[in-house]
Every structure is written in structure tokens, then in C-alpha cells.
Structure 1
Amino acid sequence: MTTTAPLPHRRASSPTRRSPVVRVARWSATHPWRALTLWLTLVVGAMALMAVVPTQSMSDDDYGVGESGRAAEMIRDANLESAPGEVVLITAESGVLERTAADQAYESLRAGAEGIAHVDAVGPPTWSEDRSAMLVPLTLEKGVDDLDATVEALQASTAEVAEGNPGVDIAQTGGESIGTQIDERVGEDLGSGEARSLPITLLIMIVAFGALTAALIPVALAFSCVLTAMGLYAVASALIPDSGTVASVILMIGMAVGVDYSLFYLKREREERRKGASTIDAIEIAAATSGRAVVVAGVAVIVAMSGLFLTRDTVFAGLAVGAILVVAVAMVGSVTVLPALLAKLGRWVDRPRIPLLWRLNRRIGEGGISKRLIRPVLARPKTSLLVSVGLLLALSAPALGMKLHEGTIDTLPQELPAVATYHDVQRHFPAERPTIEVVARADGNATEVGRALDDLATRAQAEGLASDAEPVAVAADGRTSVLRLTAAGADGEQANEDAVSELRDTAGPAAFDDLGRVEWALGGDVAATMDSQDNQRGALPLVVGFVLLLTLVMMAVVFRSGAVALLTTGLNLLSVGAAFGVMTLVFQNTWAEGLLDFTSPGFVVDWVPLFCFVVLIGLSMDYHVFVMSRVREGMRRGLSTRLAVEYGVRETASVVTSAAAVMVSVFAVFATLSMLEMKQMGVGLSVAILVDATIVRLVLLPAALVLLDKHLGSLRRPERTREVVPAA
């Protein structure tokens, strides 16, 4: 049985050499107005940059990888890329489309579209086989960087025509329309996430502190970090453009780590003031303890996120840059501007108090509940370890059946008009399906290459690899030719991927091998999806190995213990496995559709697990470093390992619980948004943080540390540089 023992009394010492974190915090505390002015200048400057320098979005060229990327490059070099286009679907409200009404609507559409800038042509209408629908193609100009204004004008014109022809249903869709509406929805989701996460986070902080000022500081500082990171990313996007989700990631991670880091620091400063330290001394002690833990945790997140660069994928690179920027800003803010705020406010940080919450917090005390929960764990560490590991392995088991696939039209919000119309177009016109492009480049034998492509088109249609083929397009110099095939299946069907594999492995080589020196490649929508997935599979071992190895080395250096480093890695993998298992259970089945308002695609979007892995490895270090720092603090003061573990968990219980509540609530908000990727990411991250803050922190970690007692001697060694030592 364990007992709670007070720490051996130790007076605060004046360090002969302070660490950089302590020196920066002391300067900010003794020069608060300068520190606050510098921070406001940074925030305002970043927001000005965001207003002046628009965030650059990814173009189609940025998505290309593998053979499909090479095919797209060959097509661009020959100026043979397809012109962007939209389609307008005309159907009858009653189900039977009269030709007169359809022709009248078509003429109105053509008259309205021809006067819009960057509309190249309005093609002749196409009727469906059952004559129940008419499709009007709209060709836009090639080489225009921004077609948003053109698409908006076309949508307005289409809506006007629809009002003038009440007897028919008229709707517009296409890649540009879907992209525009997705961008609008992402913006709405981002605003919704902000509107929900801010008051929830503030409420949690009020409960945690029992005082309004103390609650406002972490929320305000975190939000300023988000704004700053978005402004800085606007500049960085010139080199690494935005895939459309970077802003959401910055908000989600920024609010989580920004509040957490401030919370760690602020809680320790208040604790030291309650023990009798002056405001400046309390700030300095907080910097030497919690401030150092914040820096270590922040660097761990940055190291983990940098692993995404190994994918050599622009989407992952953009997500990594956004996350790294917001974590770096939050880390800097917590050890610079936060000490300045605390120095200016002094004891007013605990005003105005919320009477009931303030008394409740004082009555419970630090770790009052966790102290009772951890005692059975410390009394029976082996049993606790086996039960908790078994539980996490059970949660992780479904991840073995996780299916990954790139996002399709089915993973987009189905209530968007352009998405709904796209499904209607596919139903009435099966030829409107993904494309497969075969491009060949040769010198001097263009006729033979063209004949080979024609034969390939015939074979592809005869064997069911394609449903239709366009005439072969030849570049002006005669060196490059392109065959465009229409996939046999709808978007996302396995048959399309099987067709690409057959064309690449068998039909393509048979068509070109006898022609001598011919460079050819197969690309298009389906091939690009497959190549992106193959690229991620190839990069996965590199990213996982890089992240785990560097975090392992970091923990070994920070705590000077190989046992702690290995334990950290094992606990991280268990948390990630549990999160992936829950993601698989939720999104590959239908039981949670009504709960989270989504339609299960039967898979997890391919980039989400890899991104969640690096984020979770980084974020799980927050609590781990914070708790382990307190455990080491107790061991250095002479406590036994069992008592030091109890002390570390007890003293960090309230702050870790509050920080976890913030993270879980922020991530859970994203699980309610309309974009499926955000839902999956929100569920995965919130589950992992919940597991990490409960099962791992209260059961696994304490039990493992007690069992590893003989291997933790290095934790008792003093620091190489003297720091401020808090008085007992």
C-alpha cells in the first residue's frame, strides 16, 4: 500500500546559470510592455500579410506523382491538356422531358453563357438513351489561373435560366463547380469550428481555474497563435500551396496545443504563488519546469510533423507546414508573452473568481481524485499493466482490417448542389465517368504511334477496360499523341483500377514494344488516384520509422534514460492503435452514420491515418513529458519510485485533465463538420487523446514505471545546469 508523502524540504536556490527558457521568461516578466508589444506586432503583422498575400491553392500540376504525374507533364509540355469544362443537366419535373421545352432551355443557356468571360464554347446538347435528360457541355478557356469568377457567373446564369423555365429542372455541375462549393463549405466549416470550439474551450478553462481572467488568457493566446500561423502560412503557400484543408488543421491543432501550453505554464505559476513565491520567482520556477516541458513537447510535435516531408507529396507538405507553424508560434508565445501577462496581472490573474467553482477547486485540491484512482494501480502494477494493455490491444484490433482509399465523389457532402447533380449526370449519362489517358511521345513515327493508340482503344473497349474512347489528339509538332478513354465503371469502382493495371501491365506494352524508341505513360483520374495511394504506401515505412526514431532519441536525451524512451514509444503506439481501431469501426460500418451525420464509404480516406499518426505521436508527448518531468522532480528530491510516480500523477492531474478536455472537445467539434476527412480526423484524434489522458496516464504509465524501477536510476541524476528549484 502506498502513502502520500510530502517532498523533502528544499529551499529555492539562485541558479548560477539559467537555461535559455528561464532567461527569456525572466526578461519578459521584467520587461512586460516590450514583450507584449513585440507579440502584438507579430500577430498584427501576420494578419496584414494574410490580407495582402492571398493563400495559394494547389493546382492540378501539384497533385501529380508516379507514372500518372509523368503522363500529365508530357501532356502539358505538348499543350494537349483537356480544357476545363462544366455541364448543365436538363430534366423534367414529371420524368418525361419534352423536346420543345428542352430546346428552349438550351437556347437560353447558350445565350447567357456566350457572353461570360473565359467561356470558350457551348457545345451541342446530348440526349440520354431514354430521352429523359439533356446534357449541355460548357467548355472554358485553357490556361486561366482562376476560373472562380467565371464559374460563379455561369451558375448565376444557369439559375436565371432555371427560373425562366419552370417546366424543367436545370442544374450545373463539373470539376470547377464542385471545387468552388467545396471551398465555400470548408470556409463555413472553419467558421463553425471556431464558433463552437472557442466557447467550449473557454467554459472548460473557467471550470479548471475558477477565475475568469485565468480562463481567458489561454484561449486568447491560442486564438492569436492561430491567426499568426495562418498569416505566416499565406506567405509559405507560395512554395507549398494549400490543398484546401490547411486552415482547418491550423485551427484544430492551434487551439489544442495553444491552450495546453498556456495551461501547463499558468497552472505551475499559480501553484508556486500559493506556496509563497513572489510573482517573478513563480514565473521563473514555472519556466524552469513547465516552460521546459512545453518546449520539449513542442519540439516533439514539430519533429513528428516534419516526417510528412518524406512523402514528397504536396498535400502532406502543406499540412506539415501549417501544423509546424502553429505549434512553433504557440510554443514561443507560451514562454514569452505569457510570462509578461502574468507579471503585469500578478495576483489579479485569479480575479474575478467564480465563487462556486473557486471553492470547489480549492476543496478538491491538486490531484484529489487521481490520488484515489492511482493507488490501486500502484498496489498491483502487474495486473494493472496486463489489463490496460489488453484493453488497448482489443481497441486496436479492428485497425488490422482498415481499408484505405482516396476521397471520391461519395466522400464529399452529398447535399451540395453540384455533387447531387454530378450523381444525376452519371445516372442519366454513364459515359460521364473518370478518364484514363494514354500519352506517347516519339520522333519520326507519329503515324505508327497513332495507329498503335487506335488499336489500344479498340482492344480496351472490346475487353471491357473502357466504355468509350475519343479520337487520338496529336500535338502541333507531331511528336506527342494522347488517347483519352472513358472508364468502364463509375467514380471509385474497383473495375477502373483493374483496367488501369491491365493497360499498364499488358495492353500498353503490347501496343508500343514493337515501335522502337517510344516513351509512353498512362495517366488520368483513375491512375492518379492509384499512384497517390502507392506513393503513400511506399512512404509509410519511412515516415513511421523517422518519427519513432527521432522521438525515441529525443526522450533518451531529455530524460537520459533508454527505458523511458522505449516506454514512451510503446505507449504512443498503443494510443495510435486504439484510435485507428475506433476509426475503422466507425467509418467502415454504418452504425454511426446517424450519430455523426455521414454516409459510410466503406473505407478511411487514405491520407487521414498517416497524418493522424504523426500528429498523435507529437501531441501524446505533451502529457507524457509533463507527467514524467514531475516524476523526475520527485525522484531527484529523494522519493522512492512508487511515491515519485504518485507525486507526479497527483501534481499534474488537474492540468492534464483540463488540457485533455480541451483537446478532446476541439477535435470532437471537427468530427461534427460536413467534410468526411475532418470527421475521420476529429474522431481519431479525440479518441487517442482521451485514451492517452486516462488509460495511459492513470494506469499504463504509473504501472510500467513502478515495474521498471531498477532501470530508472538516471532520473535521479541532477541537471547539468542548475535551475530554479521550487520550495516544498
Structure 2
Amino acid sequence: MTTETPRTDGALARLARFCYRRRRLVLLTWIVGVVAVAFVGFSYGAASDNDYSGGKSDSAKAQALIEKHFPEQQGDTLTLAIKAERGIDDPAARQKIEKVIAELDASPLTGPVTSPYQDENLVTKDRRIARTTIPLTDKDVPKTEVKPLVDIVKDASGDGVTLGLGGDKAEKAETPPQGPAEGVGLLTAAVILFIAFGSLVAMGLPIVTGLMAVLGGIALMKLVGHLVPSPDFTVLVCSLIGLGVGIDYALFILTRYRDSLRDGDEPESATVKAITTAGHAVLFAGTTVLIALLGLIAMGQAMMAGVAVGASVTVLVTMIAAVTLLPAFLGFIGYKINALRLPRRTSRQAGGDGAATRERRTPAERWAGVVQRRPLIAAILAGASLLVLAAPALSMRLSLPDASVQPHDRSSYTSHRIISEGFGPGYGAPLIFATEVGSTNGDLGPVVEAVRKTEGIAYATPPRISKDGQAAVFMAFPRTGYQDEATADLVHRLRDDVLPKAPGGEQVYLGGPNAGAIDFAEDTSSRLPLMITVVIVLSLLLLVVLVRSVTIALQAAAMNLLSIGAAYGVLVAIVQWGWLGSALGFPTEMPVTTWVPMMMFPLLFGLSMDYEVFLVSRIREEYERTGDTRTAVTRGLAGTAKVITAAAAIMIAIFTTAVLGPDVSVKQIGLGMAVAVLVDATIIRMVLVPAVMELCGKANWWMPGRRALKADPTPPDGVEEPVRV
């Protein structure tokens, strides 16, 4: 906990002095360490693991049977979809189609390709639409090698013939990289820092510190992936969260350093004071983020555990950089922290009679006064606004994106559209039934027939026995698509009613990518309350230790839940309901990606606690000095408003860059987190916190087994001390 006179003999003070005095050694260690870890991590890091299956769900059991008894089906496949306006038998159309099929068949990446001219089942009755499956010889083929196949198909379209190449590998191959989005975020952050500090030197330090920390953190995350595998989106999530907190943590410390220089401290003393105050708060805030992220482990899903560990490693490196690398930089910069700055007008008004003068009241002070005069009205209006924003979250649906929600210029979307038109929307959402073959269920005919007669099933295939004779599989295609709620209802009806009533159906497991996505979504929904509980309880305990107040810790938890709920609601309204979705780059209305709300909660809860720590710690300092809650809130808000606003603006800029990218799931998490930070930095910090603390009065500082805090025995005189911003 920070106080007005920080300790100068503690561990943090000693660390700050060491890093300041041995700055060359510290900087060299960081540079060599980051370069070495980056080389090893990016060269020998673990490959991504996007497997969301596993556990005890029916889809996991079906997948286990298929992997054990049908190894020949483990390779990835692509689907070529063909639509010819004059029919595929038109000579010009046939020449083009056969040429494409021959080029795909000749690729070293593909196995034998069956032409639709050789199998009537691959062609619609009107012979305008056809399809064929293209097996890939290597399960781990890089997407860069699949991209030429996508280009062959896209380039061949035209003159009345439309072709599309679908499949997971094709989707990934034609998804462009994030591009310059991160650069846009960094440039925006630089502008914000320059406006906040007015100095190019002060602007550059947080960015350099954040970049070095993120580079080292991501490389280390890739090495940790050998122990805890993580999905491919983990790198982008780590970049977003690492840059956000890395720059923000450096910003908070640098602000305190400049304040201390302004008060007359020497650079070394100012560095020590900044680390023992803002640096101490950074460690608490970062630890809260770590606890929140590791709460993902409570989900019991290997994929999310990998994300949690990977992101935690990145945040941990940014924390270490803030309290070691930044003090070393300050040792080099010293008094030049304000160098290369724009001239600014001063707001100080000198008294002509030589009497004591005071600085003008800042906008934050004036705003705090407005809220404190009508705290109940302010709290009700702010709370109602957040509840309205959160209301759409009650209708949230979860799923995983497929080709139907990709941009319409993608070949994978073209393939989906053609296949849906010719063979039904359920062709892209196959249900795979698997069972072990034994004496009790050797004849799957009754099961297949029961499935075929189920309302919502378009058709079912005959069962196929494995080569070892120990397992059987068959497929059924629903009439509805992958993202339709009716498809999820159909899966439940088959599992709960149809299979149990069919002879031998009790041992049949319903799986496949579609059912797996449904199981993943439902497992996430059922475990989310546990994760939320774990994150809140652990974070509350940490915050109680920091501010030594149960009341403020409970206030923080409630307000964080409100801001996260508001972010969920806005996300549902834009992504699922389609409000402004097209303007923000979402191709169509779609369910929220399953892992997005699960990932958002711990990240946002931890980040919200960051702002809570920095604001409340400053309020606590003022309360211990004055003993007056209203004065403490006013001065605390005034002393942190500018830096929290700048930090929030940086976070919003960085998270918004994800919306500029091509991945619809990453766009969702970027949008949701930007909205949450905006709500947290405005409605929560500027309205709810001062209003609720004004209403609670001295009860804010309640702690079991401890007397209420007393006022400073030497309170300030009638002349209010100037507030530093």
C-alpha cells in the first residue's frame, strides 16, 4: 500500500536503486535476454494446438473411437464446390472444371481426387451444382502451401462457372494476416502519450518498455507451449494484453517519477519514490490480472488452460519490465524526461500581493464535486445505464465460426454458399455417429433408420465398419446449418430421445465438428460460473490486502461485473443482433464465438482492478492524510483522472486494432474489451466510484477486527494543498 511518505528501505526501494545505479548492466541483461529468448522461442517454440475436444462429452467419445479404429479418416480434407449456370456438362464449363480438378489432383499436397463426372452422387439432379472432396496427404500442412490451391480455384471462376474451395485449411490459408493493425494501435498510443506528457522522451519510454516486454513474453509463451499447448489465437491475445498493460504500467510509474521531479527530488530519489508507490500498485494490479487469467484453468479445458498460462507469462514479463527495465531507462534519462517537448501555457495564477496562491480546480475536481452533491441520483443513473447496456447479454448464444460467417469474398464462403444451395445447408454441419461393434449392437440398421426419420434430418448414410471390425460409423445431415439454433436442438433431441429408444442406440455416440462445437459451448456455459466465482474471490482477497477495506473490495467486484456485463451486452447487440455489425467489419449476424466471453471475463476483471488499484490507492493516501472521505475522493480522482484517462485511451486504441483485422473471433474480443475499458474509465471511475464512496462515507474503510481510521493528527490548514495532475 502506498502512503504519502513511501518507504525508502524496502525491497522495492532497493531494487529501484540497484536498477538505477547499475542501469547499463540491467539494460544489457534485458537486451541480451530478450534477443536470446526470442531466437529460441520463435525458432523452437511449440506449435499451436486448436483442439477444443476432449473430456467426457459424447463428441469426445465419438472422436476417440474414430481415431482408434478409423485412422485413415484422420487426414484433413478440402471441399471443391462447383456451380455452372449452363450445367456442368456444357463443353466450356466442363473443360474449365476438369482443368481445375486436374491441377488439384496433381498437387503433392493432395491425394486422389474423384471427379463429379465419375460419381453421380456428387452432382445435383439438375446438374448445375457439383462437389468433390480433396484429401490432404499431410495433416500438418502449412497454410502457406494451401494458399496456391485456393488461388487456383478462385482464378478459375468466371464465364458462368463459379468455384469455391472450402475446409478448415482453406479458411486459414486465405485469412490474411493481422497486417498493420498493431502498428496503428502503437501509433495511436504514441499520440496519446505525447498529448499526456507533451514530451517525445516521456512518450517513448512506455512504448519501448512495453514492446521489449511483449517480445520477450510471447517468445517465452511459445517455449512454455511445450508443457501447456495453446491455440493459435493466443499470440494475438498476448500481444493485445501485453501491449496494453505494458504501456499502461510504464505510464503510471513514469507519471509518479515526473511528479517527484517537479517536487524537487533528485532523479534517483524520484525513481525510488515512483517504484515504491506506483510500482507497488503495478505489482498488485499485475498480480490481480495473473490471478484472473489463471482462473481460466477452472474451466477444465486444455485449450483455455494454454491461453491462460501463455497470457499470464506475458503479463508477468511486463510487470518485471516495469519495475526493473524502466528504472534503468530513467537512470539514463534523468532530468531529460521532459526533453523534446512542445511549449505549453501554464495554468498557474500568481497573486499580485504575494499571498499564497492555489492552482485552478481541475476538471476532474469540479466533476467530482458535481457527483458528490447528488451521489444517489448519479449512482442510479450510472447503474441503470450499465444494466441497459448489459441486457442483450441475456440472449447470448455461443458457437464456433465456420465458413458461413466468413467475409463473402472468401473462397470458403463461396464453397459454403454453393454447397448449401445444391445439397442443403446441413451439408456443412454433418453429424457423425460412432460405436463399438459387439454382439449387442452388431446391426446398426434400426439406429440409422431412427435417425433418418427424425424431424430435421435431411438424409443419413449407411453404416461403415472399420477394417478391424470393432467399430462402425455413419453420418447424418441436418436440414439446418452449422450456426442455426435448430441444429443444436436437433443434436439434443437425437441424444436424449432418438438414440436411447432405438435398439442398440444406447452405445452410439453422436460426434463430429458440429456436435463438438455444441458440446464445447455448453461445457463453457456450465463452467463459466465457477470461473467467475474463483476469479472474484481471489481478486477480492488481494484487493482487501492492498486497500485494507472489505467495503471497497466489494464495491470493486460489483462495479467490475457491471462493466463486463455491459461489454457482453454490446457484443451481443453488434455481433449476434447485427447492430452496426457491417460497419465494424462483421460479414453477417452470428453467435458469439465460444471462447470470447470466457477469455474476456478474466482479462477485463483484471484490467478493471488495475484502474481500481491506481484510483483507490491514491484516495487511500489522501484519506490517511486528511481523514475526510469527500476530500480524499476529490483529490484522488483529480490526481489520477488524467493518467487513467490516458491509460484507458491507450487500451482502447490497442484493443480496437483487433477490430481492423480479418479474424471474426479476434474482432469480437477486441470489440468487447474496448467497450469494457471505455465503460470502466468513464461511467465506473468517473461516476459510480465517487458516488458510491460518497454514499458510504466512513463505511468505505470498514475492516473486521479493526477500528475505523482516524484523521491525521495534523490536518491541513485552511489553505488547500495544490493537487498534482
TM-score of the alignment, normalized to the shorter chain, above 0.5? yes
SS of the equivalent of 2:583 reads: helix
Aligned-residue offset at 1:585: 2.6
1:359 and 2:351 aligned: no
- Structure 1 gap segments, 5+ residues each: 1-8, 719-726
Indicate conservation of the 8 Å contact 2:404/2:416, yes or no.
Answer: no
Moved more, 226-235 or 95-104: 95-104
Query: Any idea what SS the aligned residue of 1:56 has?
Result: coil
Match of 2:585 in 1: 597
Partner of residue 406, structure 2: 412
Q: Once the two structures are superposed, what CA deviation does each residue of 1:641-678 show, in whole Å capped at 9, x if it has no partner? A: 22112121111121111111111222222233333323
Residue 523 of structure 2 corresponds to residue 535 of structure 1: yes
Distance 2:423 2:174 in 1: 23
Structure 2 distance, partners of 1:520, 1:135, is: 29
1:4 maps to what in 2?
Answer: none
1:124 has 2:115 as partner:
yes
Q: Residue in 2 aligned with 1:138?
A: 134
1:331-369 Cα shifts (integer Å, max 9, x gaps):
1111000011011110111111122xx436889989822
Does the CA contact (< 8 Å) of 1:49 and 1:234 recur in 2? no
Give the superposition deviation at 1:309.
Answer: 1.1
- The structural deviation recorded for 1:528 is 0.7
1:85 corresponds to 2:81: no
The CA distance in 1 between the partners of 2:62 and 2:285, in whole Å, is: 43
Match of 1:637 in 2: 625
| Residue in structure 2 matched with residue 6 of structure 1 by the alignment | none
Q: Any residues of structure 2 matched to 1:232-251 within 5 Å, and which?
A: 232-251=220-239
Mapped to 2, the partners of 1:407 and 1:30 lie a distance apart of 53
Whole-Å Cα distance in 2 between the matches of residues 366 and 306 of structure 1? 45
- 1:175 aligned to which of 168, 177, 181: 168
CA distance in structure 2 between the partners assigned to 1:581 and 1:122 by the alignment: 46
CA separation of 1:13 and 1:421: change in aligned 2, threshold 3 A: closer
Instruction: Kindly indicate whether structure 1 or structure 2 has the higher relative contact order, using CA contacts under 8 Å at least 6 residues apart.
Output: 1
In structure 2, the CA distance between the partners of 1:420 and 1:224, relative to structure 1 (3 Å rule), is: farther
The aligned residue for residue 346 of structure 1 is: 334
Q: Which residue of 1 aligns with 2:718?
A: none
Instruction: Tell me, yes or no, if the aligned pair for 1:21 and 1:292 is still in contact at 8 Å.
Output: yes
Residue 449 of structure 1 is matched in structure 2 by 441
Indicate the SS of the match to 1:359.
Answer: coil
Q: CA 1:50–1:317 in 2, change beyond 3 Å: closer, same or farther?
A: same
Aligned to 1:524: 512
Report the equivalent of 2:355: none
The answer for the alignment partner of 1:675 in structure 2 is: 663
> Structure 1 residues 367, 505: closer, same or farther in 2, change over 3 A?
farther
Distance 1:391 1:122 in 2: 58
**Contact map agreement 1:667 1:686 (CA 8 A) in 2:** yes
- Show the counterpart of 1:473: 464
Describe how 1:386-465 pairs up with structure 2 within 5 A. Answer: 386-430=380-424, 432-443=427-438, 445=439, 449-451=441-443, 453-465=444-456
Given the superposition, is the C-alpha separation of residues 387 and 359 from structure 1 closer, same or farther in structure 2, using an over 3 Å criterion? same
CA distance in 2, matches of 1:524, 1:317: 23
Sort the Cα spacing of 1:462 and 1:380 in 2 relative to 1 into closer, same or farther, 3 A: closer
Report which stretch shifted further, 131-140 or 653-662.
Answer: 131-140
The offset of 1:55, in angstroms, is 4.6
Q: Distance in 2 between the 1:484 and 1:550 partners?
A: 46
Instruction: Look up the match of 1:3.
Output: none
Checking the alignment, whether the CA contact within 8 Å between 2:230 and 2:305 is kept in structure 1 is no
Q: In 2, distance between residues paired with 1:501 and 1:258?
A: 45
1:272-311 to 2 correspondence within 5 Å?
Answer: 272-311=260-299
**2:95 corresponds to which of 104, 112, 115:** 104
1:232 to 1:95, Cα distance in 2 relative to 1, 3 A: farther
Cross-structure match for 2:576: 588
Deviation at 1:101, TM superposition (A): 3.2
Q: List aligned pairs for 1:531-610, cutoff 5 A.
A: 531-610=519-598
The verdict on how the C-alpha distance between 1:686 and 1:631 changes in structure 2, with shifts beyond 3 A counting, is same
Deviates more, 1:116-125 or 1:254-263: 116-125
For 2:382, give the aligned amino acid: S
CA displacement at 1:317 relative to structure 2: 2.2
* C-alpha contact 1:78 1:480 (8 A) present in aligned 2: yes
Q: Is the 8 Å Cα contact of residues 442 and 479 (structure 1) preserved in structure 2? A: yes
TM-score, length of structure 2 as denominator length:
0.89
Q: Is this contact kept in 2: 1:101–1:168, CA < 8 A?
A: no
2:40 to 49, 53, 57: 49
1:313-344 C-alpha deviation (Å, 9 max, x unpaired): 23322332232122111111110000110111
Work out the CA distance in 2 between the residues paired with 1:13 and 1:489. 65
Task: Tell me how far apart the structure 1 counterparts of residues 413 and 266 of structure 2 sit (CA, whole Å).
Answer: 61
Q: RMSD of the alignment, in Å?
A: 2.8
Aligned counterparts of 2:397 and 2:339: Cα–Cα separation in 1: 52
Note the C-alpha offset of 1:77. Answer: 1.1
Equivalent of residue 691 in structure 1, options 679, 693, 697: 679
SS across alignment from 1:595 = coil
CA contact (8 A) 2:458 2:479 kept: yes
Equivalence for 2:369: 375
Q: 1:38 aligns with which of 22, 29, 44?
A: 29
Displacement of 1:225 after TM fit? 2.0
1:119 aligned counterpart, secondary structure: coil
Q: In 1, Cα distance between the equivalents of 2:437 and 2:204?
A: 67
Matches within 5 A, 1:129-168: 129-141=125-137, 144-146=139-141, 148=143, 151-152=146-147, 154-155=149-150, 158=153, 162=156, 168=161
Is 2:495 the counterpart of 1:504? yes
Task: Mark the CA change 1:680 to 1:123 in structure 2 (over 3 Å): closer, same or farther.
Answer: same
2:495 and 2:133 map into 1 onto residues whose CA distance is: 31
1:721 — aligned with what? none
